[in-house]
Amino acid sequence: MKKILLPTDFSDNSWNAIKYALQLFKNQDCEFYLLNTYTPVIYHVEYVLVSPAQFGLGDAIRENSLNGLETLEKRIEKEFSNPKHSFESIASFNNLISEVKDLSESKKIDYVVMGTKGATGAKEVLFGSNTVHVFKSVKCPVLAIPDNFHFESPLEILFPSDYEVTFKDKHVQPLLEIADEYHARINILHVRENRGLTAYQEQNKKLLDTYFEHTAHLYHDVKNMRIPEAITDFQLTSRINLLVMVNNKHSFFENLFFGSSLNQIGFHLHVPLLVIQ
């Protein structure tokens, strides 16, 4: 049974991500954890040191969180009733990143699925800071859903790689599971330099061949382009439904997301992004 964590702030953006998850895993037995974290508007030293109840705030805020989760469960049952799916609601007085990290480890979560929009809603910011920090801190795969993206079966998957990862089961299993479920084709995109692949990169590419032996896949080599431009161009010229990246130390993924500009990267995301640690 899959265990899937769905953080929500009860916004349209988070509901859109929840809808995507319910449809993506509709044929699988899943336990979904609906998570809402809350902190009081007045959040200072005295509040932390003394019981929140003494301020008359804690109970009311928790009640709002629980009520919101109950309403959300009813909405899911009404619009996406599925006997394969069960739900547990969690209202937590905690920082979102810390709670997602703790739950993903304690509950042995298979996927975290969340929206991409930040609190500002600014168009130029691709990911909110919460999403970026979840990418960095959570060890399980994270699926980020763009605002207003309507579910599409992931028939064409884009998998950019610099072949600098010695691929293991944990790196490719989530990708293979989705590809197998939807009979999808995996498009491996490599932006190459003039000098070609090193022996190490060639070895890792052969590893991918082994993993994708029974899955439809194509290799695409692009040169004289920056990686963000290559990803954007491929998205626009091909009918891609899902973008998958492996986040490894010193990889092009890390440079894209965690460089000098934390929230902004050089390509526009039109499809869901699955980040595998």
- Which of residues 236 and 248 earns the better pLDDT score? 236
Residues in Cβ contact with 119 at an 8 Å cutoff, skipping those fewer than 6 apart: 128, 129
Tell me 141's DSSP state. -
Measured in Å, how far apart are the chain's first and last C-alpha atoms? 21
Kindly state whether residues 107 and 83 are assigned to the same domain.
Answer: yes
Kindly state whether residues 123 and 162 are assigned to the same domain.
Answer: no
Mean pLDDT for the chain? Answer: 85
Q: Which of 186, 125, 177, 134 is nearest to 155 (CA)?
A: 186
As for how many domains the chain has, the answer is: 2
Which of 101, 119, 145 is the last residue before a domain boundary? 145
- Which of residues 80 and 247 earns the better pLDDT score? 80
Kindly state whether residues 184 and 107 are assigned to the same domain.
Answer: no
- C-alpha angle with apex 106: 165 to 95, nearest 5 degrees? 90
Q: Which of 120, 114, 117, 110 is nearest to 97 (CA)?
A: 114
Helix or strand run (H / E) with residue 46? helix 45-49
Which CATH number is 74's domain given?
3.40.50.620
Q: Which of 217, 13, 48 is nearest to 127 (CA)?
A: 13
Longest dimension (CA), the chain: 67
Q: What is the pTM of this model?
A: 0.87
pLDDT of residue 233: 85
pLDDT of residue 268: 61
